Amino acid sequence: MSNSYQIKQKIKEIVTSVFLILLIAGLCFSILYPLLKLVPTIFSRIEDLGNPNVIWLPQKFSITSFKAAARFVMPAGILTLVKTVLYAALIMLIQVFFSAMVGYAMARVKFVFSKIAYFLVVLVFLVPRQSLLLAQYIFFKHFDFLGIMNVFTSRGEVDLIDNPVTLVLLAVFGFGVNQSLFIFLFAQFFRNIPKELEEAAGIDGCGFIRTYFRIMIPNAIPIISTVSILAFVWNYADIYYTNYFYSDAGLMSTLLSKTFVGANKTYVLNAVQTWFGIPAVNDFAFDAVKQAGVLIYLIPLLIVYLIGQRKLVQNMENSGLVG
């Protein structure tokens, strides 16, 4: 009797686990599919593209697509890549530094301004930031905040468009890419830190600033690394801010989004044809070069992700968002 029950249980277990394995494998496949789908296209010879017989394996292996893509998205060679990574890293550092400060004051200093700040941060998060970019553009084009620019120029205003300062200013004052979300995450984290920690520091004679940098920041490493990863990824991939405020910076993201638009197709195809002396190219070559470009662009992101993702889940647990 008990034996047949055990067998039943065993069968049930096996069926469930097979079902789950299939489900998980299917989901993984559907996530990876956009990347897998690229393989036959980008490793084919450009002449072979569009051949309906080729689905998963290229007929002849070639990296011409990559060479072409590299010339489009990395005009200065590896320097373009380095520049883009450095840009994202710089904005990330500024965003983390200032978001943490604001988040800390919002969560730990109990006075009317922290309540106002809380309300405003949520409001800023909810209003789509792209709806304000146009007015921000005009604001930066004729930058004369509170008349202080009279001191520096005779015109009373400066043009901050296509000037890297603009993107730095936005990050310093809490309005970079998704920064209200970062401030919110920091505030939620600091809210859950026990009060005793601060009080002990106060008794030991630490002032506000020292308590913050010596006690709070070291305790906030998990949330700092989470926000850093997200900030790096989102700044690296941002095209809205860079296109509006610094479109000729020569970053990979803007080059990618500007080169491979439909209107540019003939230009791209002609360039590929002359560069590599290929007699005839069809529309498929455009996709191949474009996708090779994305793959080059994704490499730094994937490296950051592979290093950081294991920590990401671990860290979010302590982030206080779920508390």
Partner 1 sequence: MKKLKMTRNMRRNLYGLLFLSPFFIGFIMFFLIPIIRTVFYSFQSVSVGANGGMEFTASGFKNYVNLFKSEVTTDSKTLTELFANQNMNMLTSVPLITVFSLFMALLANRQFRGRAFVRMIFFLPIILGLPLVTDMLAMTTGSELTETGGGLFSESFVSVLLLNYTGIPLRVLTPIMGYVDNIFDLISHAGVQTLIYLTALQSISPSLYEVARIEGATAYETFWKVTIPSIMHIILFVVVYTIVELFLESQIAEEVYSFAFEQNKIGIGSALSVVYILNVLFVLIVVVLILGKVARRYE
Name the minimum Å distance from CB 250 to partner 1: 16
Interacting stretch for partner 1, rule CB under 8 A, among 74-82, 83-91, 215-223, 292-300?
292-300
Q: Taking a C-beta distance cutoff of 8 angstroms, is the pair 140, 245 a contact?
A: yes
Q: How far is the CB of 311 from partner 1 (least distance, A)?
A: 12
Does 310 bind partner 1 (CB under 8 A)? Our answer is: yes
Q: Is the dihedral of CA 311, 90, 119, 244 positive or negative?
A: negative
299 binds partner 1 (CB under 8 A): no
Q: Compute the distance between CA of residue 73 and CA of residue 258 in angstroms, rounded to an integer.
A: 10
Q: Which is nearer to partner 1, 80 or 293 (CB)?
A: 293
**Does position 77 bind partner 1 by CB under 8 A?**
no
Region of residue 261 (phi > 0: left; psi between -120 and 50: alpha; otherwise: beta): beta
Q: Which of residues 188-217 bind partner 1 (CB under 8 A)?
A: 208-209, 212
Q: Is 204 helix (H, G, I), strand (E, B) or coil?
A: coil
To which H or E segment does residue 284 belong? helix 283-317
Contact range with partner 1 by CB under 8 A, out of 75-83, 215-223, 273-281, 288-296 = 288-296
Map tokens 């569009």 to a residue. Answer: 50
Can residue 267 be called a binding residue for partner 1 (CB under 8 A)? Answer: no
Is 262 a binder of partner 1 (CB under 8 A)?
yes
Is the CB of 64 or the CB of 188 nearer to partner 1?
Answer: 188
Determine the Cα–Cα distance for residues 150 and 158; give it in Å rounded to an integer. Answer: 9
Distance from C-alpha of 190 to C-alpha of 216, rounded to nearest angstrom: 8
47 binds partner 1 (CB under 8 A): no
Output the CA angle 240-245-247, nearest 5 degrees.
80
* Using rule CB under 8 A, residue 67 touches partner 1: no
Least distance from partner 1 to the Cβ atom of residue 258, Å = 11
